[in-house]
């Protein structure tokens, strides 16, 4: 029974396999497209943050360069003059903690004074953690953006160090190091990296000479192993990398996939439902055809063995009755071959009468042929009629 069931519905099962494969392919493709779309969206957000952070770094360099240009021209500058200069240049930059001027690597001016008084007199040569960076700036003549570092006055921050030179005719003379210190959190918040509404999990890392992550300035280091999108940032020669993933991880792309999967399943159901019905209708039709075949076989057997005439004709409204089938016994009973039968009911009756006259008592029974016929057409346009005729005295 099971074998017959599977054999009967084999086309439907093949359709199920094909539609299931198509559905799985569409689901996989949809998942890939959703993740790609999400990655593209996150990449766009990261590139915006990259541009803002890059602009923040460049603006910070301009602030420091403006102060350095004045220091390179004056032999000396008082604390009040230095504070006035720094106040004007850094106005609106609450992320700037202080600006320190260190002629010959010793801090002599700092602004603001009171919260950073402890920095005055600091000799960078006595601070091993900062000496290498300070020496590199002095020796290379290049501005450096350094951090994050632990600040002397507490907390963490970035330091932008710029060498200051004075020109004596065609000779450049090193005068000292100008350092602008930025609060780490305020600097990044100003660039938009720390907003509560930011739907990203970020990490900002400094790269080594080989392009590998070295120091994490901000964020969750686990982001680096979560297939993040990234954008490179040039911190005045130092290479940094901003990486990000969605706040809820890449599984956020699957939330949309669930609704799309439901639509795919609904589509598959819309395809398979009619196919199942068609398969069932085909099986039912096959049963009907088989029953009709057996009925025709029984009818053929009856016709071949019936000892009289079997006639099939069509009654059509406002037209003569048309004989469409007759058995070979018409010649024996009515005396005419079946091919010469007239196409009207009256002609058939006449044939039966001629047969009766020709055969005498053993002739055919013509009138009996029509006794059981239904009334003439009233409502229908046409219908089939079957009639039987036999010899007198023979049972029908």
Percent of the chain with pLDDT over 90: 12
**Contact by Cβ (8 Å): 160, 145:** yes
Which of the residue ranges 2-6, 354-358, 368-372 has the most confident prediction, judged by mean pLDDT?
Answer: 2-6
When pLDDT is cut at 50, 70 and 90, the band that residue 388 belongs to is: low
> Higher confidence at residue 7 or residue 324?
324
Long-range contacts: 141-147, Cβ < 8 Å, 24+?
141/165, 142/236, 142/237, 143/61, 143/64, 143/65, 143/236, 143/237, 144/236, 144/237, 144/238, 145/57, 145/60, 145/61, 145/235, 145/236, 145/237, 145/238, 146/238, 147/182, 147/184, 147/217
Q: Which of 1-10, 139-148, 199-208, 378-387 shows the lowest mean pLDDT across its residues?
A: 378-387
**Contact by Cβ (8 Å): 83, 112:** yes
* pLDDT at position 343: 45
* 92: number of Cβ within 10 Å: 5
* 223: number of Cβ within 10 Å: 21
Rounded to a whole number of angstroms, the CA Rg of the chain reads: 52
* pLDDT at position 389: 57
Q: What is the mean pLDDT of residues 100-119?
A: 89
> Higher confidence at residue 74 or residue 102?
102
* pLDDT at position 306: 72
Q: What is the mean pLDDT of residues 362-386?
A: 41
When pLDDT is cut at 50, 70 and 90, the band that residue 370 belongs to is: very low
Closest to 79 in 3D by CA, of 95, 105, 106, 99: 99
Which helix (H) or strand (E) covers residue 380, if one does?
none
252-305 and 10-71 helices, crossing angle to 10°:
160
pTM for the whole structure:
0.59
Delimit the CATH 3.30.450.350 region(s) of the chain.
18-246
* pLDDT at position 373: 37
Q: What is the mean pLDDT of residues 277-286?
A: 76
Q: Which of 18-27, 29-38, 71-80 shows the lowest mean pLDDT across its residues?
A: 18-27
Q: What is the mean pLDDT of residues 89-95?
A: 89
Would you state the structure tokens that stand for residue 358, as one six-digit string?
């020709």
**Contact by Cβ (8 Å): 325, 312:** yes
Q: Between 3.40.462.40, 3.30.300.30, 3.30.450.350, 1.10.15.40, what CATH number should domain 18-246 receive?
A: 3.30.450.350
pLDDT digits (tens, 9 = 90+) for 231-277: 998 887 788 899 998 887 777 656 555 566 667 677 777 777 777 77
Angle (CA) 128-130-135 rounded to 5° is: 95
Give the C-alpha separation, 228 to 205, whole Å.
13
10-71 and 79-89 helices, crossing angle to 10°:
150
**Contact by Cβ (8 Å): 368, 385:** no
* pLDDT at position 296: 82
């Amino acid at each position: 029974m099971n074998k017959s069931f599977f054999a009967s519905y084999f086309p439907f099962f093949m359709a199920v396999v094909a539609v299931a494969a198509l559905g799985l392919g569409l689901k996989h493709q949809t998942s890939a497209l959703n993740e790609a779309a999400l990655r593209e969206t996150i990449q766009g957000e990261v590139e915006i943050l990259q541009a803002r952070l890059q602009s923040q770094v460049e603006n910070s360099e301009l602030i420091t360069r403006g102060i350095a240009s004045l220091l390179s021209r004056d032999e000396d500058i008082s604390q009040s003059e230095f504070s006035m200069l720094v106040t004007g240049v850094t106005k609106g930059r609450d992320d700037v903690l202080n600006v320190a001027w260190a002629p010959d690597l010793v801090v002599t001016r700092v602004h603001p004074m009171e919260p950073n008084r402890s920095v005055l007199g600091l000799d960078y040569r006595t601070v091993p953690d900062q000496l290498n960076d300070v020496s590199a700036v002095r020796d290379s003549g290049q501005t450096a953006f350094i951090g994050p570092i632990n600040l002397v006055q507490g907390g963490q921050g970035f330091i932008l160090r710029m060498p200051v030179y004075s020109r004596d005719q065609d000779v450049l003379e090193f005068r000292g190091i100008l350092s602008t210190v930025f609060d780490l959190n305020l600097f990044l918040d100003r660039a938009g990296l720390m907003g509560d509404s930011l739907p990203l999990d970020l990490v900002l890392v400094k790269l080594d000479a080989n392009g590998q992550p070295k120091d994490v300035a901000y964020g969750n280091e686990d982001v680096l192993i979560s297939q993040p999108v990234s954008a490179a940032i040039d911190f005045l020669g130092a290479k940094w990398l901003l990486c990000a993933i969605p706040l809820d991880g890449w599984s956020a792309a699957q939330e949309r996939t669930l609704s799309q999967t439901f639509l795919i399943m609904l589509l598959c159901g819309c395809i398979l439902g009619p196919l199942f019905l068609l398969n069932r209708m085909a099986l039912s039709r096959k049963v009907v055809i088989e029953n009709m075949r057996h009925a025709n076989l029984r009818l053929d057997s009856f016709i071949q063995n019936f000892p009289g005439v079997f006639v099939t004709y069509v009654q059509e409204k406002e037209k003569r009755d048309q004989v469409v089938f007759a058995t070979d016994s018409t010649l024996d009973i009515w005396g005419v071959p079946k091919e010469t039968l007239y196409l009207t009911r009256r002609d058939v009756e006449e044939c039966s009468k001629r047969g009766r006259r020709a055969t005498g008592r053993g002739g055919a029974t013509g009138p009996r042929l029509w006794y059981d016929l239904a009334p003439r057409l009233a409502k229908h346009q046409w219908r089939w009629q079957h009639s039987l005729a036999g010899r007198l005295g023979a049972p029908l």
